[in-house]
Structure 1
Amino acid sequence: MNDPVAELGTNRVESWFFRANCPTTPRAIWIKATFLTSTSGRNLAQAWVSVFDGDTATAAWRTIDYGDATATTAGGGHRITIGDTAFTVTDTGGTLRGHLDRDGQDVHWDIAFERDDSELADPLVLIGTAAKVRRSRFPANKVVSPFPVVHCSGTVTIGGKAWLVDGWSGMQGHNWGPAHSRQYVWGQAVFSEQSGRQPFAYVEAASARVAIANRTSPYFSVMTVRHGAQMYRFDRLFDLHRQHVDASFPNWRLRMRGAAGTATLSMTARREQFVILPYQNPAAPTRYCLNSKLAQVELRVEPRTGNDFVLRSEHGGALEFLVDNPRSLLPTAAIPFD
């Protein structure tokens, strides 16, 4: 699921991304490598890092020419190098090493991650199946999680202050498409035991609007819940009567009904816990991602068979809103890369 798909001469955005959260304190890191190609010949590679510490959120990035980046495949793995950053993935885990400095925000990282040894480790395709995701034409934007739950080790250094990330949990994802969706909300959370801090469940979900004949569609939503060995999928995209979306930034509430039962996901973060990231498109205006990795999460599931359950995380959720105009939502926040 991590195999590259970008092709020169096509309009495409492709990203590999990783996040890790501290299980005991509101700290997290998010790292992303993006390739952008276009029919116009404007081809870029971008490295990103965002660091979240309580109510402090900082971000840095670097853009270089596509030809100066590398994406090599060997031994069943891939290595993406963009400037001083390197993102390596295999079938059992990966490593991330790099350094970015932007406007005085200096971040170094040296992190290894490995697959969880339970059913939680099974790769996830949010829409569709693993067998068909690469060749299917719908949806145009593919969202996969080769590693929905990982265990992390290593260090992150911000402005000379070092964090030890041993014992942190997270995920690694891969997405691609001709452009970012017109508007979306995406969320993911890993739930761990109170004692022992071992992951036992996760949720990943998205609500997106797309352009149809110069108009913007309603939200189409999808959600997958993994609770131990049980999987609950809510992926009837066009069954709008069975999904309810309230995406009032910085809050997102998604309720879905389907063959698996009913699930209600509520996520929120304080405005100070978001960074603003400009997401460029090959042949469309730039969109802006309001990105937090410290969201509060509540998930209520009423299965068709079995007992109801409620899962909560105080600061372990990944929450993103893609919008046209970030100033209307975060009027005082910096857009550091305009």
Structure 2
Amino acid sequence: MHTTFGLNDPVAELGTNRVESWFFRANCPTTPRAIWIKATFLTSISGRNLAQAWVSVFDGDTAAAAWRTIDYGDATVISAGGNQQITIGDTVFAVTGEGGMLRGHLNRDGQDVRWDIAFDRVEDGLAEPFVLIGTAAKVRRSRFPANKVVSPFPVVHCSGTVTIGSEVWVVDGWSGMQGHNWGPAHSRQYVWGQAVFSERSGQQPVAYVEAASARVAIGNRMSPYFSVMTVRHGAEIYRFDRLFDLHRQHVDVAFPSWRLRMRGAAATAMLSMTAHREQFVILPYQNPAAPTRYCLNSKLARVELRIEPHTGNDFVLRSEHGGALEFLVDDPRSLLPTATIPFD
């Protein structure tokens, strides 16, 4: 039996500045369709405490999002014995050690989305929980980095239904992931990506990649991008987590594309992710004690990952429309000037 090392346990505390999210995505293996669901809690020293439920759906070159914000006290988080159940209005996000269930209904600007999805951990090494920076056993105690990114379920099998208006998607044989993150605020600027790679026949997952590039404010200036990446291919794990060794990483962020080259102890990795502009939703991410940031979020990115091991043969993994790709920015109007920006 796998253990999540308590990676889904809540950490938010009233009276502290904290953003905490549990999130889930699922992608159809044969067509460009995906769903992304998120539960967020914001606590602050000032006493302004909120709970937010989010859903985004992606269908070809169409993307739509809905969300709801309620008072923290009107939401519930039940956590016991490694199991969690989060309820925010009509949204329920439940996880155990081996899977989970998501059920909910959100409507925004006439976009009505309902979902009833179950997910189960895959039965191989890809199922092992991991932490993007640090180790699973120590992540909750470590002070660095301030923002934690963990994947209790890096690869899952999904089943259920998604209903958009009167259209019903049958979620059968979809793959996905479930993650959890927390910190004092959303990072100032970041790019985050994740992809599950499958065999052409049978769509059996064989590998995944998760990576991020982030910048922080240093006085009145922004730092260079610091990047991290983890790749699991069968039984092999390649970690690229020397954040401050900028000689071993090269980052090219040019929305809607992101390219990352990293050299690690065992291999060199080259990751390329891109999506069409129409395949992004724009989500306002509030902070406890900082301005709102905006997440340009797609779950239909095209992904190519090349690994050159220091010993052994090179290999390339591709996904035509299975990548999760997010850009967090101060103001999205410079990137999507004609889009409707939810500045409210």
TM-score (normalizing by structure 1) = 0.99
1:306 to 312, 323, 332: 312
Q: Determine the structure 1 residue equivalent to 2:26.
A: 20
1:180 to 156, 165, 186: 186
- Identity among equivalent pairs (%): 87
RMSD: 0.8
1:66 to 45, 68, 72: 72
Q: Determine the structure 2 residue equivalent to 1:283.
A: 289
Kindly report which structure 2 residues correspond to 1:166-245, keeping only aligned pairs within 5 A, or say none. 166-245=172-251
Deviations 1:221-280 (A, max 9, x none): 000000001000000000001100000100100000010210000000000000000000
1:114 to 113, 116, 120: 120
Q: Determine the structure 1 residue equivalent to 2:268.
A: 262
> Is the CA contact (8 Å cut-off) linking 1:200 and 1:227 kept in structure 2?
yes
d(CA) in 2 for partners of 1:4, 1:311: 34
Kindly report which structure 2 residues correspond to 1:119-158, keeping only aligned pairs within 5 A, or say none. 119-158=125-164
Q: Determine the structure 1 residue equivalent to 2:332.
A: 326
Q: Determine the structure 1 residue equivalent to 2:4.
A: none
Letter in 1 for 2:276: R
Deviations 1:47-89 (A, max 9, x none): 0000000000000000000000000023430000000000000
SS of residue in 1 equivalent to 2:333: helix
Q: Determine the structure 1 residue equivalent to 2:39.
A: 33
Gaps of 5+ in 1: none
Kindly state the Cα deviation for residue 166 of structure 1 after the two structures are TM-superposed.
1.0
Letter in 2 for 1:3: D
Give the number of aligned pairs: 338
d(CA) in 2 for partners of 1:7, 1:90: 22
SS of residue in 1 equivalent to 2:231: strand
Deviations 1:106-133 (A, max 9, x none): 0000000000101000001000001110
d(CA) in 2 for partners of 1:173, 1:306: 31
Letter in 2 for 1:146: P
Letter in 2 for 1:294: L
1:87 to 86, 93, 116: 93
Q: Determine the structure 2 residue equivalent to 1:164.
A: 170
> Is the CA contact (8 Å cut-off) linking 2:10 and 2:79 kept in structure 1?
no
> Is the CA contact (8 Å cut-off) linking 2:9 and 2:82 kept in structure 1?
no
Kindly state the Cα deviation for residue 214 of structure 1 after the two structures are TM-superposed.
3.4
SS of residue in 1 equivalent to 2:126: helix
> Is the CA contact (8 Å cut-off) linking 1:234 and 1:260 kept in structure 2?
no
d(CA) in 2 for partners of 1:87, 1:95: 6
Kindly state the Cα deviation for residue 291 of structure 1 after the two structures are TM-superposed.
0.2
> Is the CA contact (8 Å cut-off) linking 1:92 and 1:115 kept in structure 2?
yes
